Amino acid sequence: MLVFSLFFEEVFGNKLRAGAQHKAALTGSFLIVAGIGLIIAGTLAQPSDSEKESPEPDASPVFYVDEQSNVFFSFDSPNSRGRLFIKRDENLGRDYTFEYTLPDQEEGYAGFVFQFHPPLNITKFGYLEVTLGLDDPKANCDVYLKQGETANYIRICDKSFINGNEIESHMETYKLTVKIPLRKNFKDVDHSRIEEVGFGMNTSFTRGSHRFTLYDVKLLQ
């Protein structure tokens, strides 16, 4: 099984083909590769996800998604471009700035995702809280949870939330914090087996070149 390592510092977008499987596990030493492409390191025989029980987070009322994810990567369609830059701070953790260009005429997509292998049990949590830097007002994005082939999303468009229910938000300068009730907004996915928390853009709602920064993504009780 190929293993995709966690990205450090500046990471360029990775090419994915639609429908490609991206099951992987993090292990071994980190390997940094310049340019566009997945960063791959080591191999380790593991039982399949179906043979593993979904781990439960510890008793903490806050679960930091990006810190606990064991697989993380960006993606884009062949006619699009996505570039991800990660800024690390010893006190504040990581910030993720994503720059993307989607075609003006054709269909395309880009984004990045945090994965969990085996799947994560989030049943004890009530909210997903996300803080985004939207200094580019047209940098809309979908926030989604995925389990198997099933996914639910909330579209964040500046101060509006398409497909969302009872969402709380507040803006400080250009930072938008969104608190999303899990059970009211991600109804179709099995909360005991969450495989992905992701951020995606596609040409059904945005085109051209834009950027935004993810400052925080966490689960709250």
pLDDT digits (tens, 9 = 90+) for 51-110: 445 556 666 789 999 988 988 899 999 999 999 999 887 776 789 999 999 999 999 999
d(CA 11, CA 157) in angstroms, rounded, equals 25
2-17 confidence digits (pLDDT tens): 333 333 233 333 333 3
d(CA 80, CA 71) in angstroms, rounded, equals 22
Domains annotated for the chain, with CATH where assigned, are 56-220 (2.60.120.430)
